[in-house]
Structure 1
């Protein structure tokens, strides 16, 4: 990829003139007229909505936008404008994806091809959009869409779900009108002469069935030699909602037994239980498709007095066929025998289907019904994961052990509760006065293993303790491997093991484990966010990272945990979704009002938006919370914290207060604390402060320090920016030309366009300054340059071209009173 080529997430639009070939057949003049009309009418609209007119492809046009909502608004306006133009009937498709922007501003990438293949699914005069676009539409009630089809588009490997925009008075397509060339999904119906061959192929490779879901949508379930099962929440038939914990607990125990069989792929509780309130509305095969499994276990539980009745069945997903069902009625003392019988019966049915299956389904349990009841009450509370819920869960687990000291499950319940309590203490309640959660977790996990030596979850806890508390990664890895050996379907083992490998730099192995965790628990917010973070930090694939984080926050909208939300905030800002980013920052602050990330994030957010009052409010909270400790401890990490405080205060005075003397003092204070400059852009701010204070002596001194690398190994582009600005303010055009020439010869693109913009602004050459910034994506204009508030750009701020540039960032200056 050449220096000026780069990747970005863009909304991609294709337009196409319906029946163009027929209309213009034999009339080249009519073809030219129609294309001229299209160009004249559409191009100004594209510019108005901040889009890029990339190229014309026959009668079609390829466009890109920085936001899907801009693309949608533009598309609606285009369809309105062309209504009165004879024979200019357009189909429009919009998709969002990762594209490569070439030096000539052309774009390439798989998502460009996808968009072009979507066009024929649009009604004439309508708009077809992909599922990615509908996600952004969800927060804009003025737009509505309905699902159309999920075709296998020609030349496209991935499946694309296509929708039609139904709002804004747009026409809708009829499926019989689709003229796209795509590989259709057909049932397995073939002439008789092919049947024998097909049967052989099905027996060898597995087979695929298609059926129509609700609303005519095609749903696919693939049946292979993949023994994948989802155990759905058993229905509580006791007539008392207070017994819900019992039916949930029975479900979870059966799930846990099946999980111990390595040959099975058992979907984790988090994902399976996400359908708890939807099971009456959805068919088993629809749930199976969403969870990517081939079999569903469902059932019901009725408990009365000291008796229990369990009805359960194993369903093959693609045809809703019950492969097995059973009904069990016993007293509560025999409940664990029933659970073993159910799990064994399911395994036996799959053995008939697939052959020998190895694994020990039986689990060491209790014959004490009171112990069982207390354990299930504790596990029900543990699954809620709140601090008070965990405290109550610990009480119930201890009650269970009082009833039966030889019962292994409550010990692991305690161990896992203390791990969760430690997570809360670390990420939310930092002021906790209880710092022995890890030792307690370890003690209980070891006791569980004394009673049940092959308890995989206990080894997972020991691995976490060894890794995080005892700082012994080799021991931790050994424990994780044992955990997976004894319970190959426990998603947390893979999640934590993958994270350990990641920390060690073994990223390929780490991703393999994280991906396995996602396969076992596809609807876990935590796992989706962790995979998203991997794509963000390791692969620098911000598009895929955004998709995983979006899924995580759709699953759990109040997902405020560690730094995951801060990564998602950055991804939202990369898409210029400033309001959504602000909302998440504020929720983060509500969850932890003393959190470093939330306070710094909010300060910088309002600084970028020009909201002086709010920026100062959160900075003051940050200062009062962290400054005294940083001063008292005086370690290297606390020096970095002090540096952050001085930099933030300097930025507030530089960008918002325009107090250049105070900003200068604070910037120099931050530089005294560290060995090298953390943010080279700070040096540009320092130069401008000295320039604004009109101290010729200090200017010359600082320029000399820059020339002689007194501030360490800073990028050449920053040096040339400062030297070029100094020449520009002095009207030394010869020197300016020299520095611009030097910048043009630089291969690095990190600061090159910024430097050119600074220099041209010093000359008040607005056109060239804006042109330099056109190569910078809008996210960096805001985060790096602080375009809305940066005083360096004040000389050109009122120019229409600069205003247009601000508009592209989607920034709206806030009231800073």
Structure 2
């Protein structure tokens, strides 16, 4: 039996795992989706080919459809797609779909099963370039299935009328489907109030009213305001009294230190305020209002990208049935999610910022290894640095359950670190502690803070893996933190500075695994951005990563680096995939590993999988410029140009100076034939960062626009630069291709091969090389590189 997944990103899985290759290219997944939603009579062949290949003539459309049916049936080992006269239908005994299971559960009245199966929107993020009618069909079916899901959720909520806490959970899931419905908002409020949580009911009313006013320009139903007024004057229920402060679950034995962070909790309450009564399990992330709606004072530009990843909440939490009802704390919510805000630097030394930032980064890294705990990535965390953001607003915006906040002070060889853990749903403090240690204990402290945080969130049953004994003295550890601080800035000078810091850490502490890992990371990225010749950057990166794993085989970062080197220098896709998967297994919250794995997938033409991995990276670190930009890059390679433009535009809203946005935007616009806009974007990219790649892209754009003299001037500069040291040969080849000189372009590609240019893994998917693909020398080069790809999704068979 093969299982067809259509809720979320589509896929086909068999007894031996996911089906890859031609059978699951974009058009063939579309074919399976159309048939999965058909009646038992099937769908007319003409209807299917018209949806999938609208620009093909009748004969060509019929051939493409027949080939797709053949490819699918070949993959499933039989007639998964049956031909019955002029109609096609799925054989349910060979291919079972989640949509069929959803509707079967509805038919037999098993609403919980139906809700559990409908785990994400139908064909989320999926489309077929140029197939407008198919996209309309998807939208219509998605709306129909969502209505059916809503009816199931309402049935569950109504069935739980005698259990208001459980009813509130079902109603809130229903509200997530239509946050503008005042009818549903009122039912959520009534259930929360009946469960004894009037504060949550009033808070939901405020969020709903803001959504309706800001998004629709309308006033909410007056009944919402009337219910809020009634809740505010109603007497408190004696049954729902909350515990005294010292009895708040999860805070027993925590001392209140005068030097702990003294920022007021949400709403202005002090950290020692008593908790409100909480009768129902706190709502899982998926039940909250859409993230980008609640205002955060002073950080609106920072939050511009959150709407891009609106599906993050559903992806992480799923749609589980309500837990048993009773007095609960944050421990009741699984999976849990957390954001670690940058530690405030209170040190007298103005140069100490890197230490506070590095310690924050290490705490994030440690927490990211905990199974079941979703930790927001570093880039997003640091977007809120020094902003004094309200914890409840962060909870709503990022979809997190808790916020870890604090400060660090270094003076006279001593450390004083104060931290507090805040419940993001109500703004109350779960735990606070102050640590005073010698600076030599910094390494152990970050592990102690991570373990204490997890213990307060989920108890002692789950905790980070025990950290190995510190292999570094304080000076080496400080050098490592300084290296990570520079590595995250990702400029050529900062990466070179990072190498210096990591090398110093290694020299001081040769058995310090994380320092070796950092050195490998820095050298690998220097090679990717062509800041160093590949032959210099990648082998040394691999050596550092291997040394790190010899010292600590469970570090996720060096595994990702080995995958990076296997992909870009050794051109070994299988080895790269194994390394990336091992990194993700060890550190599921390490967003960089997901991003680099996505690079491998789209280099192999596995665009659907690449988009999924890149979205995971984005969800783990929703404000990461590189993760969000790289998603646009994946969409560009997949031929989804309008979606790529929209994605890159979102990144530009976040940071108008991020040069990669303009570089990739220029490439997308070139594919769309918008020459003037493309050149403008490429000039902006070159102005912001005149790297060899940016200048080569501009030269290519000028050549395509017929401005040969300008293109040749830039090209001459790049060739002179290459003669003096190094310039990206792969990009120079593409300039010659645009100038109509294929032989010279191929000569430069062959030179790129001699230099082991990392870009050669994209030979068969780079749209700027289409004009060379049929050339015998190009085919020979592809064979010499030997990088296994599976062909682009939706392309010709």
TM-score bucket (shorter structure)? 0.5 to 0.7
Q: Distance in 2 between matches of 1:487 and 1:455?
A: 8
1:233-262 Cα offsets, whole Å, 9 max, x none, are 000011332110111111111111111112
1:467 Cα deviation from its structure 2 partner: 1.8
Equivalence for 2:542: 442
* CA distance in structure 2 between the aligned counterparts of 1:518 and 1:615, rounded to whole angstroms: 39
Deviation at 1:435, TM superposition (A): 2.7
2:478 to 367, 373, 393: 373
Alpha-carbon contact 2:718-2:732 (below 8 Å) kept: no
Q: CA deviation at 1:356?
A: 3.3
Q: 1:268 aligns with which of 357, 360, 377?
A: 377
Q: Match of 2:766?
A: none
Asked if 2 retains the 8 angstrom alpha-carbon contact of 1:371 and 1:403, the reply is: yes
Aligned partner of 2:412 in structure 1 is 305
Q: Provide the rounded CA distance (Å) in 1 between the counterparts of 2:654 and 2:421.
A: 27
Give the counterpart of 2:508 among 397, 403, 411: 403
**Are 1:228 and 2:228 an aligned pair?**
no
Match of residue 238, structure 1, among 325, 347, 353: 347
Whole-Å Cα distance in 2 between the matches of residues 436 and 574 of structure 1?
34
Query: Which residue does 2:494 correspond to in 1?
Result: 389
**1:504 matched residue in structure 2:** 604
Q: In structure 2, do the counterparts of structure 1 residues 532 and 305 end up closer, same or farther at CA, with 3 Å as the change threshold?
A: same
How far is 1:537 from its partner?
3.4
1:286 Cα shift?
A: 2.3
Whole-Å separation in 1 of the counterparts to 2:445 and 2:521: 26
| Alpha-carbon distance between aligned partners in 2 of 1:350 and 1:617, rounded to the nearest angstrom | 60
Contact 1:151–1:185 under 8 Å retained in 2: no
Contact 2:338 2:373 in 1 (8 A): yes
Q: For residue 780 of structure 1, what is the aligned residue in structure 2?
A: none
Q: 1:629 to 1:674 in 2, by over 3 A?
A: farther
1:553-564 to structure 2, matched below 5 A, reads: 553-561=652-660
Matches within 5 A, 1:13-28: none
Q: Is the 8 A contact 1:593 1:599 kept in 2?
A: no
Distance 1:240 1:270 in 2: 25
- Map of 2:682 onto structure 1: 585
Pick aligned residue for 1:551 from 643, 647, 650? 650
Q: Point out which structure has higher relative CO (alpha carbons under 8 A, 6+ apart).
A: 2
CA distance in 2, matches of 1:362, 1:301: 21
- 1:602-681 to 2 correspondences below 5 Å: 602-604=702-704, 616-622=709-715, 642=736, 644-646=738-740
Per the alignment, residue 451 of structure 2 pairs with 344
CA contact (8 A) 1:599 1:622 kept: yes
Q: How far, CA to CA, are the matches of 2:295 and 2:685 in structure 1?
A: 39
C-alpha distance in 1 between matches for 2:228 and 2:642? 32
Aligned to 1:470: 570
In the alignment, the residues of structure 1 paired with residue 553 and residue 496 of structure 2 have an alpha-carbon distance, to the nearest angstrom, of 27
Task: Write the deviation string for residues 19-52 of structure 1: whole angstroms up to 9, x where unpaired.
Answer: xxxxxxxxxxxxxxxxxxxxxxxxxxxxxxxxxx
Asked if structure 2 preserves the Cα contact closer than 8 Å seen for 1:152 and 1:183, the reply is no
Structure 1 residue 254 and structure 2 residue 353: aligned?
A: no
* TM-score normalised according to structure 2 size: 0.52
Q: Is the 8 A contact 2:692 2:718 kept in 1?
A: no
Aligned partners of 2:227, 2:617: CA distance in 1, in Å?
Answer: 30
Considering fraction of residues, name the structure with more strand.
Answer: 1
Check the 8 A contact 1:153/1:182 in 2, yes or no. Answer: no
- CA change 1:318–1:534 in 2 (3 A) is same
Indicate yes or no: 2:621 matched with 1:521: yes
Q: Distance in 1 between matches of 2:535 and 2:481?
A: 27
Q: Provide, for residues 137-165 of structure 1, a one-character-per-residue CA deviation record: whole Å limited to 9, x for no partner.
A: xxxxxxxxxxxxx95269999x9968879
Q: Contact (CA 8 Å) 1:498, 1:509: kept in 2 or not?
A: yes
Partner of 1:435: helix, strand, or coil?
A: helix
Paired position in structure 2 for 1:533: 633
Give yes or no for the alignment of 1:152 onto 2:198: no
- Quick one: distance in 2 between partners of 1:184 and 1:571? 51
Give the Cα separation in 2 of the matches to 1:300 and 1:334: 16
Q: CA deviation at 1:502?
A: 2.7
How far did 1:330 drift? 0.8
Structure 1 residue aligned with 2:114? none
Decide whether aligned partners of structure 1 residues 336 and 273 sit closer, same or farther in structure 2, where only a CA change above 3 A counts: same
Q: CA deviation at 1:522?
A: 1.0
The aligned residue for residue 395 of structure 2 is: 288
The Cα of 1:638 is off from its aligned counterpart by: 9.5
Q: Which residue of 1 aligns with 2:23?
A: none
Counterpart secondary structure, 1:296: strand
Which residue among 518, 522, 529 is the counterpart of 1:413? 518
Counterpart of 1:137 in structure 2 is none
> Aligned with 1:488: secondary structure?
coil
Structure-2 separation of matches of 1:2 and 1:400: 60
After superposition, what is the alpha-carbon deviation per residue over 1:185-233, rounded to whole angstroms, capped at 9, x for unaligned?
A: 999979999x99x999747977856797468999999995231111110
- More displaced 10-residue stretch of structure 1: 226-235 or 496-505: 496-505
Q: Answer yes or no: is the 8 Å Cα contact 1:365–1:409 preserved in 2.
A: no
CA RMSD of aligned residues (A): 5.3
**Displacement after TM superposition at 1:366 (Å):** 3.4
Uncovered stretches (5+) of structure 1, i.e. residues with no partner: 7-97, 115-149, 166-171, 608-613, 649-670, 677-817
Aligned partners of 1:574 and 1:673: how far apart in 2?
16
**CA distance in structure 2 between the aligned counterparts of 1:450 and 1:571, rounded to whole angstroms:** 43
Q: Which residue pairs with 1:62 in the alignment?
A: none
| C-alpha spacing 1:187/1:199, structure 2 compared with 1 (3 Å) | farther
* 1:644-697, Cα deviation, whole Å (9 max, x unpaired): 31489xxxxxxxxxxxxxxxxxxxxxx999979xxxxxxxxxxxxxxxxxxxxx
| CA distance in structure 1 between the partners assigned to 2:730 and 2:526 by the alignment | 29
In our comparison, the structure showing a higher alpha carbon Rg is 1
Identify if the C-alpha distance between structure 1 residues 440 and 182 changes in structure 2 by more than 3 Å, giving closer, same or farther. Answer: farther
